[in-house]
Amino acid sequence: MEDVLISDDDNVLRRVPTFLPNFIKPDGTISSLAFSKKRDEDGLSVDLERLTTLAITILDKSKFRLRRINVGIVKNDINGGLDVIHKPVLNNNAHCLITGNITGSKQKQLLKFSEEVVV
Amino acid sequence: MTYSANIGLKYSNSSVQQSFTLSEVNNKQIGLIRSFGSLGPNWDSYGANIPSSKAISKAISFAKYLSDKGIDIFFAAPTPDGDILVELTNGGASLEFVFSSLDDDDKIIGSFNNEEHCEAAINDTTKQAYLKWLICPNGGCPDF
């Protein structure tokens, strides 16, 4: 796999479940669970937008929505030691991790600074 | 004992109701929480755990407790760890109760206008204190 440098201008994508379970609340807002990770994970999985397509990343439009967040915002605005690193996995060279201490407060900020992507 | 909180007067979008009856909302939420038990692994496509039966059971018990207090659940969902999150709202304030698959790891997170405000482990004392903070922040709450 190629060594990929991630710049502050890059964007990353995160799937949000909308079927069962549905992370969209009754008022139309999205739960910050959309940016939560498991306790034992090294980081929050995202896809680097320039290495994928929206159609590939969303997997299934009937079950997921996509949120986009800028890497510079993750690293500089939300800050708190968050970083984005390239971590390719089998069949997904675009896979990255948002690393650092992703607290509940950070989850809410990640959600706040992300935007809906129309696929 | 009757419960007549000063809710609804200040919070027009409150999810808190003033009746003791088991609400349709909470009945639906209990059904939804039960349905999380049928989720398979990787339900979020990022390797999420199957929601644990223990967490589901605790969340349903809490939903029944809330019904007794006349409080409706606003939102419920599993977490990637297999925990269950139950959210209550009142105006700009919200409480997220996270029921864990692990022992003694349940927590409450209080937020105001989407900014995290406070967090505590769930026990009878914190549960009541946080519910009072949500429902009647200016005091005058009945005992739960």
Tokens of B121: 């482990």
CB-nearest partner of A23 from B36, B77, B111: B77
Q: Which residue has the higher pLDDT, B127 or A1?
A: B127
Give domain status of residue B17, yes or no. no
Q: What is the value of pTM for the model shown? A: 0.88
Give domain status of residue B4, yes or no. no
Is the Cβ–Cβ distance between B66 and B26 less than 8 Å? yes
DSSP state of A17: E
CB-based contacts of B14, cutoff 8 Å, min separation 6:
B7, B8, B89, B90, B91
On the question of pLDDT at B7 being above 70, the answer is no
Q: Shortest CA distance to A45 belongs to which of B46, B19, B101? A: B46
For chain A, say whether B44 makes contact (Cβ under 8 Å).
yes
Between vectors from CA B53 to CA B52 and to CA B57, what angle results, nearest 5°?
A: 120
Tokens of A73: 């915002």
- A60-98: b (≥16 Cβ within 10 Å) or e: eeebbbbbbbbbebbbeebeeebebebbeeeebebbbbb
Give domain status of residue B144, yes or no. no
Neighbours of A15 (CB within 10 A): 22
On the question of pLDDT at A70 being above 90, the answer is yes
Does the ipTM surpass 0.95? no
Alpha helices in chain A (DSSP H): 54-58, 71-72, 104-113
Give the structural domain span for B101: 24-135
State how many domains chain B has: 1
Closest A-chain CA to B49: A38
Looking at the DSSP assignment, which residues form a beta bridge with residue B110?
B95, B118
C-beta atoms of A108 and B78 within 8 A: no
pLDDT per position as a tens digit, B64-118 = 999 988 899 999 999 999 999 999 999 899 999 999 988 788 999 999 887 777 8
